Amino acid sequence: MQQPQRQQIRDQLGILEEKLEDLGAFASTNERMGLKAPAPMQFGSDLLLQDALDSMRVLSHLVHEQQLFKSVSTGDFLHKILSLLVQDAAAQGCDIAVSHYGEGKISMEMAELVMGAIVAGFRATLRSHKALPRAERARNQLFATGSIYVEVRSSPGEIMFRIVDDGKGFGDSSDISIGAEKQFDKLREHIARCGGWFGRKSFGGVGGAIEFKVPLAHNRVEALVLKSGNFEALLPSSCVAEIFESGAESKPPKGALILGLSEAHGLEPNSAEGGTLLRVCVADLEFWLACEELGSKNLVRRISAAEFVEEGSWLQLLGLFQGRSLPLFDGTTLIRFFKENSGGSS
């Protein structure tokens, strides 16, 4: 399915959800006020309901087409992708054997979305293999040909990945600006764009694993309203690991990166005390975000802010909800603020 058609599905879903919520609020208000129609309501003549019905008909047609023709098994998807990656590895002089396992089905839209993460994780493992000489492989009783195992499981709510290799393994430095960590930049970007997370570990210097999880795309995401002074912004709930209200005994660990809201810069180093602290986790990075007040949770629809701001502005996305629009910090934006304010070190 082409990008304009996919966007049409998202827009239709978002509009439909908002209209149904409006109808629910309208009915609830009438009930509280004791209002009753003087005569039985003519369902077809109500413009708001008719508009919602028209949206539903268009949406059901598009979704039905996508479900019938635009999904593949994860096993077939992996086989096609990995066969190409193995060819690329051979062209680079890296002799490897690859095995894979897939469970469930994946839509073509999600396949396109997560393909970059798979490729980035695979290439990180290739660098691990190049760093392990053949003599060291023999000394550690490993096969002369390196091996990589890739697993993908698709469930109704998320897609999970696991890549295991018998190469050199991955370093555990907290400084993401050094070479060993910069190899994960592309993976961070892809995972953050999807709103997911990833982790990695080494097996005693010989072999390593990368695991990542990506939630299925939704037309609207749950987000928290953050307030500092007159400035308000939205933060996806999926990025919040912990919340410490004002006066709580728990504090961020010593040396932790703490950022605060800034209308001019989005996020910047925070020196104020008090207020609410949120532990923000995106991809494999973590920092703390301070605000004066934590507002309600809302389902928001994301739109580009490019047409509303000057070129070079920190503001990239807006979140629409209940007739309002506020700046929205997505995963990609949060990673950029982390790098700008931490000097590359977590």
Cβ-based neighbour number of residue 152 at 10 Å? 23
**pLDDT, greater one: 109 or 24:** 109
CATH number of the structural domain 71-215: 3.30.565.10
As a whole number, mean pLDDT of residues 327-339 equals: 90
pLDDT of residue 35: 47
What does the pLDDT look like over 171-188, one tens digit per residue?
655 555 555 566 678 788
pLDDT of residue 171: 61
Strands 231-236 and 220-228: antiparallel
pLDDT of residue 203: 79
> With 80 as the cut, is the pLDDT of residue 121 above it?
yes
pLDDT band at 59 (very low <50, low <70, confident <90, very high): low
> With 70 as the cut, is the pLDDT of residue 144 above it?
yes
| CB 70 within 8 Å of CB 107 | yes
Percent of the chain past pLDDT 90, that is, above it, reads 9
From-to residues of CATH 3.30.565.10 in the chain = 71-215
> With 70 as the cut, is the pLDDT of residue 145 above it?
yes
Report field, pTM of the whole predicted structure over 0.85: no
pLDDT band at 43 (very low <50, low <70, confident <90, very high): very low
pLDDT band at 42 (very low <50, low <70, confident <90, very high): very low
> With 70 as the cut, is the pLDDT of residue 50 above it?
no
pLDDT of residue 181: 64
pLDDT of residue 44: 41
As a whole number, mean pLDDT of residues 193-222 equals: 80
What does the pLDDT look like over 262-277, one tens digit per residue?
998 999 988 666 788 8
**pLDDT, greater one: 68 or 71:** 71
